[in-house]
Amino acid sequence: MLLHMDKDHNRFRQIIKGKIKENLRKYISNGEMIGRKGRDLISIPLPQIDLPRFRFGDNGRGGAGQGDGEPGTPLGGDDGEGGVGSAGNEPGHHLREVELTLEELAEILGEELALPNIEPRGKKEIVTEKDRYTGISRVGPESLRHFKRTFREALKRQIITGQFNFERPQIVPIREDFRYRSWKTTTLPQSNAVIIYMMDVSGSMWDEQKQIVRLETFWIDTWLHYQYKGLITRYIIHDAQAGEVDRDTFFSVRENGGTVISTAYELCHHIIEQDYPPDEWNIYAFHFSDGDNWSREDNRLCADILENQILPKVNMFGYGQVESTYGSGEFIDFLDENLSHHENLILSYIPDKESIYDSIKEFLGKGK
């Protein structure tokens, strides 16, 4: 069968990338890059162009559904696609959102952004143990019961013993038929990696800016986790002084006060010195700020710490600058002027959520 999908597909890709047909740009749905995150699954919207039509909004809309729940229980998924009304002309299943494991997500991320795989630089490889489900056993916990094998055993037994009735094929497994998945422990070589995140939490970083940082670190995390099994993350927040915190605090804390970036860099350096000898570790450091540093002297101090202490030790140092509430962030320009000859320093300006995509590409596109 000869189909000519290539052309139509290319054309769609080009529209999505904004190369042609600017007039459709406003109908492209980007959506939030992180959807809901139930258990280990995550949903990401696929790029889509939604041509406008006269269609129903939410007000007064409803439909029928099936399942448990009391009146008032929210429906799964926050769009109104639960009803049958959305059944279109298309054959098969029309999907807008896909649910993925983090690993699959990273794979897609790599594919979509054309990210190169990272060449780990760890000279020493550490060996870890990993369990893999490879076999079947006769004993095991109920949660690992292999449904199909169990029934197959039961069927075998019933046929052998002549209990199986071809007219009424009923299969009832008994204790001896039960089969369970079993695992083997294998060893995996592993290279060590640590990410140190630093965030400016001074009074000028508003929730919106933090949201951008949260999204961006999520994606960086996902990618690096995919590249290194057993990745360690450390979090530093700073205003006029820096401190190490846990993940939740990192994203939720709201401080006030000024911004002295060098404090964070000093702490970062200290952590590396203490825990992560660079010949054994792949080290990544990311710093997010609105670039509104306290003073020029401190800018120079930062440059000094970076150049002499941090940059020689890390695979990469990423600095992401979000929009400053006061419109005066200049730190990124300062770094650009003074340190841009260092290949492992990557600067990225992230004015809004839409730019996160490009920013990730800037940070991770070099495969370091």
Partner 1 sequence: MKAATQKDIAEVQPIIEGYAREYGLDFFPVVFELIDYDTMSQLAAYGGFPVRYPHWRFGMEYDQLSKGYRYGLQKIYEMVINTNPCYAYLMQSNPLVDQKLVIAHVYAHCDFFKNNFYFSHTNRKMIDEMANHASRIRRYIDLYGLETVENFIDVCLSLENLIDYHAPYIKREADESLTGSSSEPRTIKKLKSKKYMERYINPPEFIESQLKEIQQQQEKQRAFPANPTRDVLLFLMENAPLENWQHDVLGIIREEAYYFAPQGMTKIMNEGWATYWHSTIMTQKLLKPSEVIDYAEHHSGTIASHPGRINPYRIGVMLFKDIEERWNKGKFGKEYEECSDFKEKRNWDKKLGLGREKIFEVRRFYNDVTFIDTFLTEEFCRDNKLFSFAYNDNSKRYEIESREFQQIKKRFLQSLTNMGQPIIEVVDANFQNRAELLLKHLFEETELDKNYSTETLRNLHSIWKRPVHIQTVMEGREVILTYDGDEIRQQWIGDN
Asked if 141 interacts with partner 1 (CB under 8 A), we say no
- Can you read off the two tokens belonging to residue 213? 């940082």
Residue with tokens 């940070």: 363
Segment lying near partner 1 (by CB under 8 A), choices 125-133, 146-154, 270-278, 336-344: 146-154
Residue 358: CB minimum distance to partner 1, A: 21
Q: Which of 25, 34, 42, 47 binds partner 1 (CB under 8 A)?
A: 47
Q: Which of 39, 40, 70, 143 binds partner 1 (CB under 8 A)?
A: 70
State the Cα–Cα distance between residues 361 and 356, nearest whole angstrom.
Answer: 9
* 121 vs 145 by CB, closer to partner 1: 145
Asked if 38 interacts with partner 1 (CB under 8 A), we say no
Secondary structure of residue 226 in the 3-state scheme:
helix
Residue 11: CB minimum distance to partner 1, A: 4
Question: How buried is residue 154: exposed, middle or buried, by Cβ count under 10 Å (0-12/13-18/19+)?
Answer: buried
H/E element holding 282? strand 281-289
**Dihedral sign, CA of 199, 202, 205, 206?**
positive
* 90 vs 207 by CB, closer to partner 1: 90
Query: Could you say which residues in the range 88-107 bind partner 1, by CB under 8 A?
Result: 88-96, 98-100, 104
Residue 26: CB minimum distance to partner 1, A: 8
Asked if 169 interacts with partner 1 (CB under 8 A), we say yes
Q: Which of 31, 48, 140, 182 binds partner 1 (CB under 8 A)?
A: 48
Rounded to an integer, what is the distance from CA 217 to the centroid of its chain?
8
* 71 vs 141 by CB, closer to partner 1: 71
User: For residue 176, what are the CA distances in angstroms to 41, 54, 140, 158, 208?
Assistant: 35, 61, 12, 12, 59
Asked if 19 interacts with partner 1 (CB under 8 A), we say no
